């Protein structure tokens, strides 16, 4: 079905030079027919590197910022599918500069959605995060509003366009994540800095995250948010696995929880579980309801309320051996091990 969707189609990836964008475009180029892919991002160096690596005349690169309404409207012309990955994603950055997160994650998203409507885009998939669920930090709060913007646009689209989203936890070895930090600390002979040994996080290899997005483009209807079921692991287990893999004795240093961090993350709230469809691998949260004020203010819905949502504390917990196996499957880790062996 995706072959039919993408054939003779123009695809836009905002923030397309990031970890997701690089691997996502690789997947499309190798596996699906398409007319054109447009990469829209701010970083000319990353665009230069990606252009040289791919060397494909059907992939076009555009410098711009989703905050700039005019630039995103120009680039949206004749686009069929949009994957909105542009965002400020780092929790500490959001805590120090919350307004910058608002400008990119909220106003930038509004610009993308508005431009998609004007251009008659077939489907838009926005990328969200577990930190948008019961958010306690600026990044999560802005991502939660990103989802609300998408849902609002879906509600008012009259099915002329489809707006849906995905929500996932930590993508392994993505920029700014803990695995590259630990790898760098091991190479420098420094102890691995762990905020709280018992802190848990969902783990999602990037190829699985990409398949989640493709699942959304194939199955998504207006207002849907798709969640990929994922295992979780404690931060201490991740650190110990990295020490074992690299046969390092630098040890672990506990530094304490930083501002804006949770001990456990949630991917689906208990309220969302009431309306979510579930299969073996995914939750599909249905959000497409018209604003019926009588229903919102005077009527209720009697239903079973789960005791808790789908969290990194109640999902499948990986053992040390399972964590090592998963980390060893990453191409970045394999390359580092080859480099270490050659020294």
| pTM across the whole model | 0.91
- Please indicate, yes or no, if residue 250 is contained in any of the structural domains: no
Confidence class for position 164, pLDDT limits 50, 70, 90? very high
> What span, in angstroms and rounded, lies between the C-alpha atoms of 343 and 339?
7
DSSP states along 253-309: EE--PPTT--SS-EEE-HHHHTTEEE-SSEEEE-------HHHHHT--------SS-
Please report the pLDDT score of residue 158 as a whole number. Answer: 81
The answer as to whether 151 is a domain residue is yes
Tell me the CATH number at 161: 3.40.50.720
Does pLDDT of 126 surpass 70?
yes
- Provide the pLDDT for residue 260: 82
Residues labelled as active-site residues? 131
Q: Does some domain include residue 76?
A: yes
For residue 164, is it within any domain? Answer: yes
Q: Does the structure show a pLDDT above 80 at 82?
A: yes
- Structure-block tokens of residue 76: 């949206």
Q: How many domains does the chain have?
A: 1
36 pLDDT tier (thresholds 50, 70, 90): very high
Tokens 């926005």 sit on residue: 126
Residue 131 lies in a domain: yes
Place of tokens 């009588």: 294
Coil, strand or helix at 337: helix
pLDDT band for position 194 (cuts 50, 70, 90): very high
Best CA proximity match to 204, nearest among 230, 185, 179: 230
| Residues 328 and 338: beta-carbon distance below 8 Å | no
How many residues are listed for the chain in this entry?
343
Q: Say which residues have a Cβ less than 8 Å from residue 96's Cβ, sequence separation at least 6.
A: none
Q: Are 282 and 167 in contact (CB under 8 A)?
A: no
pLDDT digits (tens, 9 = 90+) for 17-30: 999 999 999 999 99
Percent of the chain with pLDDT over 90: 84
pLDDT, greater one: 48 or 338: 48
Is 335 inside a domain boundary?
Answer: no
pLDDT computed for residue 302 by the predictor: 47
Task: Report yes or no on 27 lying in a domain.
Answer: yes
- Partners of 317 in the β-ladder: 232
Residue 323 domain flag: no
Name, in order, each residue with C-beta under 8 angstroms of 172's C-beta and a sequence gap of 6 or more: 179, 203, 204, 205, 206, 326, 327, 330
- Would you place residue 136 in the very low, low, confident or very high pLDDT band (cuts 50, 70, 90)? very high
pLDDT in tens, 261-305: 899 999 999 999 988 999 999 999 998 765 555 655 555 554 566
What range defines the domain where residue 217 resides?
2-169+205-230+267-297
CA atoms within 13 A on the CB side of 162: 17
Average pLDDT for the chain: 93
Residue 341's pLDDT is what? 81
């Amino acid at each position: 079905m995706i072959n039919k969707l993408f054939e003779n189609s123009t695809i836009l990836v905002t923030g397309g030079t990031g970890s997701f964008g690089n691997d996502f475009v690789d997947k499309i180029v190798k596996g699906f027919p398409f007319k054109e892919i447009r990469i829209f991002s701010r970083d000319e160096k990353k665009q230069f590197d990606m252009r040289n690596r791919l060397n494909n005349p059907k992939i076009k690169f555009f410098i711009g910022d989703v905050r700039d309404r005019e630039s995103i409207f120009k680039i949206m012309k004749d686009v069929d599918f949009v994957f909105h990955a542009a965002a400020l994603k780092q929790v500490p950055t959001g805590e120090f500069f919350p307004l910058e997160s608002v400008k990119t994650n909220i106003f930038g998203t509004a610009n993308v959605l508005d431009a998609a409507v004007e251009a008659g885009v077939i489907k838009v998939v926005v990328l969200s995060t577990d930190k948008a669920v019961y958010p306690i930090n600026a990044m999560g709060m802005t991502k939660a509003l990103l989802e609300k913007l998408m849902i609002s646009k879906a509600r008012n689209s009259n099915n002329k366009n489809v707006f849906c989203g995905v929500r996932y936890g930590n993508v392994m070895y993505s920029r700014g994540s803990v695995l590259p930090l630990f790898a760098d600390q091991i190479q420098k002979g420094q102890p691995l800095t762990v905020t709280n040994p018992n802190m848990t996080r969902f783990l999602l290899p990037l190829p699985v995250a990409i398949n989640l997005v493709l699942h959304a483009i194939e199955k998504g209807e207006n207002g849907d948010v798709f969640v990929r079921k994922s295992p979780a692991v404690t931060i201490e287990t991740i650190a110990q696995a990295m020490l074992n893999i690299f046969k390092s004795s630098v040890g672990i240093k506990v530094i304490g929880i930083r501002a804006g961090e949770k001990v456990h993350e949630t991917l689906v709230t208990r309220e969302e579980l009431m309306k979510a469809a579930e299969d073996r691998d995914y939750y599909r949260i249905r959000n497409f309801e018209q604003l019926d004020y009588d229903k919102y203010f005077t009527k209720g819905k009697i239903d079973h309320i789960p005791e808790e949502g789908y969290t990194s504390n109640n999902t499948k917990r990986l053992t040390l051996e399972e964590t090592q196996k998963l980390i060893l499957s990453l191409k970045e880790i394999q390359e580092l091990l080859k480099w270490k062996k050659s020294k």
